[in-house]
Each structure stands twice: as structure tokens, then as C-alpha cells.
Structure 1
Amino acid sequence: MDAALVANKRNKEVVVRSVKRDKLLGFSSAVVLIIVLVGVLAPLIMPHDPISVSFADKVKPPSFQYPFGTDPLGRCVLSRVIQGTRTSLVAAAVIVSISGVGGVLVGLISGYKGGKADSLIMRSVDVMLAFPSIILAMALIVSMGPGLGSVIVALTLVHWTGYARLVRAEVLTLKESEFVEAARAMGNSSSRIIFKYILPNVIAPVMVMASLDIAHIVLSMASLSFLGLGAQPPEAEWGAMINQGREFIRTAPHVTLFPGLALMVTILAFSLLGDSLRDYFDPRLREGYIE
């Protein structure tokens, strides 16, 4: 009887946890989808030209004509926030795609080959990880010159290391698995084993990391733009908008409030999505295991 009660309680806990996980995944996915749609449809839904200057309308409070008010140059804050969504998402997608693909390939080779190649690659990764990522990115941008293109290149060169370490760790476990040993015994080449048998099994953790990485990259881009190293005028980018409104934070807080909220919601949505995907792909949670 006691065993039955314990099992029943355990099953209820599993169901509750599963429902919470699915709700969080659905909510975060819906918010991310809305953000992506805003970025994709930006040219169609912006009420005004985001770079059109009007000194007669500068620093106006929110109104029917300008729902988010205007900035110190009379530009529509709502239009610039929408355009900033497009700028941030496109840049983050490019950075994650290039650094993710590069890091996955390096991790696959390093983990499967082992030996001197693995040691050389991992020592290079350790050297890069010895420096804070934002400081290393700033140094690279200063050497190339400020601008959105420099930010994309710098963050791409910084972020591939995380994917390389993650994939290498997965490969070290998978390459000793029975199905890989069977594939090797059947005479499959190393490249076939890597891309047909190992790669599909590391996609899930890479997807989780990519979701979390987008949030980190968006924040890094905003930080660099806030410091004047990222997007340059008249480009609309959240960090640059927040920096521009610092002098008016007491008299016109809307100039910094709305891009700050957009930045916060985007980072939170992608972080929650990453956490939800991690729980969803965790086999222990799918099987109902609770620590």
C-alpha cells in the first residue's frame, strides 16, 4: 500500500512538472514567434520612417500619432524599436548560424579524432575562454572599426568556442556507444560515422544552446552599441537608442523605456525558450525521472 501511494504521488509530480514544462515551452515559443514576426514584417508595420528627422517633433511624449513618443531628433520611437527588432534578430541569426556551424564542425572533429588534434583545438579554445567574451569582442571591434558589421564578425569569432566544447563533450560519450562501434565494424568511414550517426544525436543540445545564445548575443550587441562600438547613426538598434536617451531619462523617459523593454522581453523570451527546450530534450524528464 505504501509503495502504491509513493508511486501515485510520483506520477502526479511527473504530470504536474510535464504540464508546467509544456506551458512554459508554448508561452516562450509564442512570444519568440511574435518577436520574429515583428522583425520580418517591420517594413510593413512601422507607422513612420525610422530615420526621418523632424526637429519640430523632437522629444514628444507618447500620443496617438506617436504611440511610443519621439526621440531627441524627432524620430518615431515605435518605428525605431520595430526596426531595432529586425536589426537585432538578423544580426543574431547570422552570428549563431556561422558560429554554430563552425563550432559544431570543430567539436565533431576534435572529439572524434582525439590525440594531438584534440589537444591543439582545445588549447586554442581555452586561450579564447581565458578572456571575458565582451572584452575580447571589444578588442576585435576596436581593431576593425566600430559598426554593425564589425560586431557581427567579433561576436562570431567569440561564440564558436561554446559550441565546440559542447559538441566535443557529446562526441566523447557517443563515439564509444554500441551503435557507433557497430557502424565502425561495418566498415563505415570516419566522415560517414560522424555525420550520419553522431551528428543527429548532438543536434538537440546544440538547439538549446543556440536559443540561449541568441539572448546572450542580443544583449552583447546592445551593450556594444550602447558604448558606441556597434550600430552607428542613423541605424536603429536598441542599445544605441538607450544610450541616446540617457540625457533625457528624467524629462523624457520614454526614449529609453521602450527600447529597454523590447530588449528585456526579447532576452527573457529566448532564455525561457532555451530552458524549456533543455527540459523537453532531457531524456530523464521525458521518462518521468525526478531528482
Structure 2
Amino acid sequence: MTTAVRARVSIATRRRRARPGAGMMLVGALLLGTMILLALTAPLLAPFDPAAQQIGPVNAAPGGEHLLGTDRFGRDLLSRLLWGGRATLVSCAVAITGVVIVGVAVGAVVAGLPAKFDLLARSVLDLLVAFPSIVVALAFVGLWGPSLSTALLGVGVVLWAPFARLSRAVVRSALAEPSAVAARALGAGRGRLLRLEAWPRIRGPVVVLAAVEAAHLISVVAGLSFLGLGAQPPSAEWGAMLQEGRESLWAAPHLVVAPGVAVLVTVLGLVLLAEGLRDRLDLDEGVAT
């Protein structure tokens, strides 16, 4: 190995070690993992029924039997926070899984279209990516009424487009590689090429983008519920809890602080995880946009 090559390898190694990707990824994974664990163990950890009223004083401060206090109906806030996390995270996880599958599949199909149709499909995808998902969600709520499922469906209508655009770009690039061209010349089918050439290249970027979009989805869903357009009372959901607590903000600020911190920690965990993964996988800045 020549001196110049050694120098370049040494510089690249130092830069990789200096990157904060591993630390961000660890912090993000810990934050997100904690919130997921609390949500999944809600039936075991919640001390009371989240819908049970008058189990304690109205708007009681945190402490004693009610660690996070109670709301204006005397419901235990800790129990509602845990069950609300279960509702928010499970529903958003199902939604993001669905849009990832649809988006990656559509992108793989578009990547195989002739140039004329590919240009049209790419234009449609760019339009959907640029279109605000919250506007579509508001339209769905206006048509079918406010609910958590309606809000998720409205966001999901356009949320698959970034994954389709990413999938299309990566698949076209992978199939243009010399190894893919040689495999095609030897008789390899499209399915085999996608599995062996495209999939290894698309896994990392898709995971990073999924983390970013999951954070976006949780924020939008919580915001819609806060506006009364998502989950409806008496459902225990973080955005709905924020909406209920704002009326007693000055008298009982804990009603807003608890669900607000839960949303903040979850979104922060996802963003840090995405940034750490992107840095660790040496992905371009545009992957998660």
C-alpha cells in the first residue's frame, strides 16, 4: 500500500471515528426503546383503568397514589399516559409499516418502466412528496369525521410517496451496475436481480427514511388530535390528552407537560436514531428528506 493510499485511509478512518453517529444512534435507540417498552407493558404498569373517573381528586398534583396526578375527571394521568402511548405508537407503527411496503413496491415497479412512463411516474411522485400530508388528513377528516384511523389514513395517502421515490432511484441505480448487467445477460430474472442487487442497497436508506417519517407521522397525528380532529375523548391518546389538558393549563400544568414530554421524547428518539443510522451508513443528506 502506497503512502498516499495509507494517508487517505487514515483520514477516512479518523473522520468516521469523529462522527457522532454512534452516540446519536445509541441515545435515540434508548429513548425510543424506553417509550416502546412502556407502551407495550401498559397493562402491567398502569395502576388504574385509564377510563375510570373519580378515582382520585380532580386535577390533583403529582405525588402519592397518583404519581403524575389526575385530570379534571379524576382519572389517573400515569395510566392514561401509558395507554395513550400504546394507542399512538402501535397505530403509527402499523401505518408506517404499510406505507413502507406500498412505497418500496411501487418504486420497484416504476424503476422498470420505459423512459416515457418513468418520467411521468417520477413527476407524480415528486408532486405527492411536495404535497403537505396534513392537508390530505384534514380533507379525510372533513369527509369521514374525526378519528385516529381517519387521520392515519389521510396521512398515509401521500406518506408512501417518499419511499416510492427513494426505491425507484436506488433500484434503477442498482440495476445499472455492471454486476446486475452481467447477471441479466446470463439469464437472471428481474425478481432475482431485485433481491440480490437492489435489496442490499435499499435496506439502509429505507430504515433511515422510515424513522424520519415515523417521527413526522407521530407529530401530525398528535397535532390533529390536539385540534380535536384525531382521537376523540375519552380515548387515552397523547394528542387528545394535550387537548383536554390545555383548558386547565395554568391550574394543572402537569396535564399538558406529561403527554407533551412523551411526544417530544418519542420524536427526538426517532430523529436521533435516523441521524445516527444515516451517519453510520454514510448516506447522503438527501436520503431522509
TM-score normalized with structure 1 length: 0.89
Q: Which residue of 2 aligns with 1:46?
A: 46
Deviations 1:87-121 (A, max 9, x none): 11111111111100000011111123243442343
Q: Which residue of 2 aligns with 1:258?
A: 258
Return closer, same or farther for 1:235/1:112 CA change in 2, 3 Å cut-off.
same
Q: Which residue of 2 aligns with 1:201?
A: 201
Find the aligned partners of 2:177 and 2:17 in 1 and give their Cα distance: 33
Residue correspondence of structure 1 range 130-279 to structure 2 within 5 A = 130-279=130-279
Letter in 2 for 1:41: T
Find the aligned partners of 2:68 and 2:283 in 1 and give their Cα distance: 45
Letter in 2 for 1:42: A
Q: Which moved more, 1:120-129 or 1:262-271?
A: 120-129
Return closer, same or farther for 1:65/1:23 CA change in 2, 3 Å cut-off.
same
CA contact (8 A) 1:211 1:271 kept: yes
Find the aligned partners of 2:113 and 2:192 in 1 and give their Cα distance: 13
Q: Which residue of 1 aligns with 2:18?
A: 17
Find the aligned partners of 2:129 and 2:283 in 1 and give their Cα distance: 30
Find the aligned partners of 1:239 and 1:8 in 2 and give their Cα distance: 49
Deviations 1:247-284 (A, max 9, x none): 11111100101100111011001100000011111179
Look up the SS of the partner of 2:228 in the other structure.
coil
Residue correspondence of structure 1 range 57-76 to structure 2 within 5 A = 57-76=57-76
Q: Which residue of 1 aligns with 2:107?
A: 107
Find the aligned partners of 2:283 and 2:157 in 1 and give their Cα distance: 32
Return closer, same or farther for 1:207/1:56 CA change in 2, 3 Å cut-off.
closer
Q: Which moved more, 1:135-144 or 1:265-274?
A: 135-144
Distance apart, 1:132 and its partner CA: 1.5
Find the aligned partners of 2:128 and 2:77 in 1 and give their Cα distance: 38
CA RMSD of aligned residues (A): 2.4
CA contact (8 A) 2:56 2:70 kept: no
Look up the SS of the partner of 2:112 in the other structure.
helix
Letter in 2 for 1:17: A
Q: Which moved more, 1:204-213 or 1:51-60?
A: 51-60
Q: Which moved more, 1:34-43 or 1:22-31?
A: 22-31
Find the aligned partners of 2:9 and 2:114 in 1 and give their Cα distance: 47
Find the aligned partners of 2:82 and 2:56 in 1 and give their Cα distance: 22
Find the aligned partners of 1:108 and 1:101 in 2 and give their Cα distance: 11
Find the aligned partners of 2:151 and 2:141 in 1 and give their Cα distance: 6
Find the aligned partners of 1:241 and 1:201 in 2 and give their Cα distance: 41
Q: Which moved more, 1:49-58 or 1:92-101?
A: 49-58
Return closer, same or farther for 1:143/1:283 CA change in 2, 3 Å cut-off.
closer
Distance apart, 1:11 and its partner CA: 6.7
CA contact (8 A) 2:24 2:275 kept: no
CA contact (8 A) 2:103 2:161 kept: yes
Q: Which residue of 2 aligns with 1:92?
A: 92
Find the aligned partners of 2:52 and 2:254 in 1 and give their Cα distance: 18
Deviations 1:147-205 (A, max 9, x none): 11212222221200010111112123222111111111111122322233212211110
Find the aligned partners of 2:11 and 2:187 in 1 and give their Cα distance: 46
Q: Which residue of 2 aligns with 1:29?
A: 29
Return closer, same or farther for 1:9/1:168 CA change in 2, 3 Å cut-off.
closer
Letter in 2 for 1:206: V
For structure 1, the residue ranges without an aligned partner over 5 or more in a row are: 285-291
Find the aligned partners of 1:254 and 1:219 in 2 and give their Cα distance: 20
Letter in 2 for 1:122: R
Q: Which residue of 1 aligns with 2:287?
A: none
Find the aligned partners of 2:174 and 2:9 in 1 and give their Cα distance: 35
Distance apart, 1:130 and its partner CA: 4.5
CA contact (8 A) 1:112 1:175 kept: no
CA contact (8 A) 2:23 2:276 kept: no
For structure 2, the residue ranges without an aligned partner over 5 or more in a row are: 285-289
Find the aligned partners of 1:9 and 1:119 in 2 and give their Cα distance: 42
Q: Which residue of 2 aligns with 1:288?
A: none
